[in-house]
Structure 1
Amino acid sequence: MEAREGGINVTTKLIEKAMAFAIEAHEGQMRKQSTVPYIVHPLSVGMILQKYQCHERTIAAGILHDVLEDTEVTHTQLIHHFGHEVASLVEEASEQDKSLPWKIRKEQTIQGIKHLSKEAAVIVCADKLHNLSSIYEDYKQIGDQVWNRFNRGKEQQSWYYQSLIIQLFQRDIPIKLLLKLDQRAQRVFGQNPMLPRRQIDAYFRFPYGIDGEQRRAWEKDLKKQEQLKVFNRMETLYRMQDPQVRDVLVLLEQHGIQWQNNSDGPFLIASLCVAIKEHYQMNDLEMVRHVFRNL
């Protein structure tokens, strides 16, 4: 595998060593209910990190990211072979206690994103991108049977991945990598899987609604009728001070958005969120994910 430094491809001994170590550590393991060797996953994570020009230690840690969770390798062994920096990144990207119930472990992972180093957060992002890409490809082949491979079904997996992505949007991660992950989540969990991201993003160009002149222009444009319908609904929700809007305000605050006090702006934005959610029949987390992408 090659890492990029200053735009030049260089094969590093550290990455080669990590590949050899991971291949040996994961020997004989397979992906869940699959004939695909498990090592394909960590090597793919390393390739994703290389694609987004990450540092060699980040790529190495990405290749090794599952050895503490899923093999007999210890943290001490990682330090011995790869040093403290790589070992610490692998530990950061690992679940801390796999004996806990699934929901508790995933809640800890979601909440832990804000405390990760930048490099560890990027590793988690690449890990989840490859997971969702694999799920998407398998879904195209076997449909909803793909969820039988996991400890929890589609609804719980949707909660986990979308909550995680919302937290990752609040970290300093290469935006192209993050948007790729967001796109994969839409394909796998979105109510409208093929809904173009730009179609939703267009609403957030006018987060406080549209003015009279713009409205009159849109009324004459057949291509703008769908957007106009959403903004009309937004205005109704705002004017009626609809309780749904207050619920969305609370939901967004729970996910980390801080509003300015004594301003109508938050209520207008939340009204737009409810209108979008209704029109496209989104669940709460899908709607929140779109909001964070447009902040």
Structure 2
Amino acid sequence: MITSPFIRALMRVLGPTAVGVSDSFQEEVFEIVCHVRFAQRIRDKLLAREWNGNSTGGYDSSDDDDVESCSAESSSEDSSFMPSGDISTSEEVHRDYFFNNETFSDIILEFGPFKIHAHKVILASNSTWFEKAFSSGFSEATQTTIDLGNEEDPKLLFAMLNHFYNDDYNNHIGQNDPIRDHSTLHLEVFLLADMYDAPSLRDAAKQRFIRGMTNAAKWHSPIHDEQVEVSRRVVGLDAVQFADVSLQEEMFCVLEMYVREIMQTPRVVVLVGRGEMFSQEFAERFAKRISALLEC
């Protein structure tokens, strides 16, 4: 059970009125707090300034119940990292407090027009790419600023980093952009997450991509040209090289499941006939599926 003295001790080190504490010691304590199972609530309260802020590092005792409850929820080995239940708007704001905030920031990421104040522990916990970069002999391990380049869409990079601090995919991926086809957008997010080996974002993008393609195949026959081209990017002759091939497999399963609906799309029929719809591997598997249907 987390008690008020424990919180007061943390506030004396990490709170807004902390004095006489070295930056290195603050970083060590902060990293420990980030790794404990009930860390999210503590970080939220520390950084949301829900403290009375007096010179003794005072603490608002009304917050005890929340923190103690969080500790109780985290006591079971089988419990998830975050407590279950809906997250209130105020808590969402608190969770986002770290994003692009200089507080405890120990790394700056530059790409396109953006300059993001980030935190290694959060980046590394969400991306194997960052974890390896910070813990290996690469130059990134000692740099205070990393240039991520301009090869990737800076808006998608920004959204990925935002996702690391707030895992609500829908709020920052930009699905309301009327110019972009959602299936293409989700695929691009998946590819970015695949490159940075970010499992949480990769899975979120894959779920929405497969859901969208399934709905397109099931309910929109013939399917739109955008979906046809996206399918070719995943299972076609010039398919992207995936580190995680699960999206390819699930995409092909959708095409197999709704083969009758898919083959009602004239463009698909033409591309299949020309041998331009699938890579050799997927073309053979698709042909077997067609043969099986004809034998029924």
Say yes or no: TM over 0.5: no
TM normalised by structure 2 equals: 0.32
**Higher helix residue share:** 1
TM normalised by structure 1 equals: 0.32
Rg (Cα) greater in structure? 2
